[in-house]
Amino acid sequence: MDNTKRENFGSKLGIIMATAGSALGLGNIYRFPCEAGANGGAAFLIVYLAIALLIGTPLMMAEFIIGRRSRSNPIGAFRKLDKTSAEGGKARKSPFTLVGYLGVLSAFLILAFYTTVAGWTLGYLGKSIAGHFGGQDLAGIQQQFSDFTSHPWLPLVCQGAFLLLTAVVVMRGVKDGIERWSKILMPLLLVIMVVLCIKSLTLSGANEGLRFFLKPDFSKIDAGVLISALGQCFFSLSIGMGALITYGSYIDKNDNMLSSAVSVTLADTLVAVLAGIVIFPAAFSFGIQPEAGASLAFTTLPMVFQQMTGGYFFCLIFFLLLVIATLTSTISLLEVIVAALSEELHLSRTRAAIIGTVGTAIIGVLATLSFRPGSPLHIGGTTVFDLLDHATAMYLMPIGGLLIVLFVGWRMKRADVMDEMTNGKWKENSGKMKEGCTTAAPRRHSTFHSQLSTLIYLIIRYLAPVAIAIIFISQLLK
Ligand code: PHE
């Protein structure tokens, strides 16, 4: 395998930040409250947490393993590993080679509708700079949302600008572009979320919203809630479609991927939960329905800022950070397409980025225009936007995730998987680390690391495929 020309992330913090940058985004602040609101609040949260913990981290590891082992984009990764995994090293092509294509297709479709809402964040940043929310009541803020999203060209301009911004960063390459952006402002987002939580919880009537989000009614858990939580978890952690295979391919062979995967899962889940704690108490306090869907975050948050001292600045900083969090996610989506096009078709990064951006823009425009009232862009009563969202989160990502865990658990050799998971310190058959490794990295590759690696391997091999398959099939039979 030719690894010489590929860039790597510059540091341990670089991987965590880039992966967290991919994970944190609209999925946490916009989509999570939407899904939780529509699926019974706390019942959804419980299922979500269980899935994030039990399936999220192992699947993230599975993707890192595929990426780092192959040093390739998702399409090349499955092709290379499929060949080397065949017993006796014989080149026996299996259908798994198609999984990479599925991932790239998912990245393309997600990017198309994701940039619709990404454009809104840019528009809302403009609105907060111009002080459009000042002195408005709920009806005024709701009206602003529908005026903005149904405007004939403004959301398209914002979407185009966002795509362009993404393309520019991606063209500059992994280290200069992606890593630098992710490192700077992610932690700040966490701080502002905590400030917002405090404000939201002190609003009158906040308790009812908090109860909705935190006190589960287990009878509400059905097949629909399960698949929505699974899809949301995959979407939020950027798993099941190849983004983390691509990022995994840039991870240095000495980095401890396991601790990165655990840290990112925890950080992402924390931000989603914080978003719920900000949005539901505030929404109940203002009389906004938790099932309000697309408008939930975009009406509740400006209302919270209205009630705060220094609300103008908080609002501005919040939307600026949201734009950046969103950008680090769109970067990771476009990177999947660019890595695949440039490596598989031997195109330059610039050319690949242009093709990826134009292709995305064509579908993305349809998603954005489908928000216009009376738009013909409805298929079977659903907007193109919702159709893309459902097709990816409820079908493509769960199927992609299932195939990824099956590939790592059953097609790849156990020794290769464990070798990646423990950075070459795994000794086959003994279940322990190789002797003589105690001096090189005694603490990072401890017995605990070894045991955790074994546990994750078993989850990848048995629990994750069974759980994903059951959830997926149960909703099909619903
Ligand atoms: N995880 C991102 C978010 O939560 C969205 C995303 C999905 C990014 C898939 C990359 C791949 O906003």
> Which atom of ligand 1 lies closest to the CA of 325?
12
CA 277/CA 390 separation, integer angstroms: 25
More confidently predicted of 449 and 43? 43
Radius of gyration of the chain (CA): 22
Residue that has been written with the tokens 């950046």 in this structure? 324
* Model pLDDT, residue 329: 95
Residue from 327, 330, 332, 388 whose mutation best tests the ligand 1 pocket (most atoms within 8 A of CB):
332
- On the question of pLDDT at 444 being above 90, the answer is no
State the distance from the centre of ligand 1 to the C-alpha of 237, rounded, in angstroms.
6
- What band does 238 get if pLDDT is binned at 50, 70 and 90? very high
Summarize the confidence of residues 157-183 as an average pLDDT.
82
The SS3 of residue 45 is helix
Going by C-alpha positions, the residue among 74, 79, 76, 81 that lies closest to residue 106 is 74
Q: Which of 329, 333, 337 to mutate to test the pocket of ligand 1 (most atoms within 8 A of CB)?
A: 329
- C-alpha of residue 326 to centroid of ligand 1, in Å: 8
> How far apart, in whole angstroms, are the C-alpha atoms of residue 327 and residue 191?
19
- Worst-scoring range by mean pLDDT, 3-12, 185-194, 219-228? 3-12
Provide the mean pLDDT of the chain: 90
Alpha-carbon distance of 214 to 195, in angstroms, equals 19
Torsion of CA 282, 286, 288, 289, to 10 degrees: 70
CATH 1.20.1740 correct for 3-477: yes
331-378 pLDDT, tens per residue? 999 999 999 999 999 999 999 999 999 999 999 999 999 999 888 888
Range 27-32 average pLDDT: 97
Residue 472: other Cβ atoms inside 10 A: 20
Maximum average pLDDT range among 17-31, 101-115, 375-389, 440-454 = 101-115
Q: How far is the CA of 201 from the centre of ligand 1 (A)?
A: 28
Which residues have any ligand 1 atom within 6 Å of their CB? 22-23, 25-28, 110, 235-236, 238, 241, 243, 329, 332-333
Question: In angstroms, what is the span from residue 4 Cα to ligand 1's centroid?
Answer: 29
How many of the other CB atoms lie within 10 Å of CB of 176? 13
CA of 87 to the centre of ligand 1 (A): 35
* Most distant CA atoms of the chain, gap in Å: 71
Element (H, E) at 383: strand 382-383
